[in-house]
């Protein structure tokens, strides 16, 4: 069975892999920089962005520290990551990926249920 994903605060309709990028871009355009997607298997996928870079985390279940996509060649840090609760954070660029890449990763996870092959060697398990 293929896992379905729902944007947590946008109702109960599943989001399709072919439309998830646009859904996230619309949310970002409205200033909603944090998005949680919940999978039918109980997994969660979070995207937190500053509109240029994004933190992408996949959690197996509640309480799982998860794993996140990284950009090991990136240097410096970026600010402007605003959580839904108003918390303002900065992250090392190595712990985030460019927004376009983040959207591709999310699309792949929603479609195939796994990290894209190009990223399986570039994940940090926060376990």
Please tell me whether residue 99 adopts helix, strand or coil conformation: helix
Residue ranges per domain, the chain?
5-125
Give per-residue pLDDT as tens, 93-103. 999 999 999 99
Rg of the chain over all Cα atoms, to the nearest angstrom: 14
Residues 77 and 85: beta-carbon distance below 8 Å: no
The angle that helices 17-29 and 99-112 make with each other, rounded to 10 degrees, is: 140
CB 32 within 8 A of CB 65: no
Which band of pLDDT confidence, cut at 50, 70 and 90, is reported for residue 124? low
In order, the DSSP letters of 58-71 are EESSTT---EEE--
Phi first, then psi: give them for residue 39, nearest 5 degrees: -90, 155
What are the tens digits of pLDDT across the range 64-77?
Answer: 888 999 999 999 99
5 with 44: CB under 8 angstroms? no
Q: Which residue has the tokens 């937190």?
A: 48
Please state the rounded mean pLDDT for residues 75-94.
96
Name every residue whose Cβ is closer than 8 Å to that of residue 51 and which is 6 or more positions away in sequence.
28, 33, 80, 99
Residue 120: its pLDDT value, please? 55
127 pLDDT band, cuts 50/70/90, is very low
């Amino acid at each position: 069975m293929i896992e379905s994903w729902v944007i947590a605060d946008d109702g109960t309709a599943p989001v399709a892999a072919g439309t998830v990028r646009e859904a996230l871009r619309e949310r970002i355009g409205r200033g909603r920089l944090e998005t949680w997607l919940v999978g039918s298997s109980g997994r969660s996928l979070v995207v937190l962005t500053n509109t240029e870079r994004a933190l992408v985390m996949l959690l197996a279940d509640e309480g799982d520290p998860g794993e996140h996509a990284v950009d090991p060649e990136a240097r410096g840090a970026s600010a402007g990551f605003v959580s839904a609760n108003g918390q303002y954070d900065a992250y090392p660029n190595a712990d985030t990926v460019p927004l376009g890449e983040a959207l591709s990763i999310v699309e792949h996870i929603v479609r195939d249920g796994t990290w894209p092959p190009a990223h399986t060697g570039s994940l940090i398990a926060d376990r």
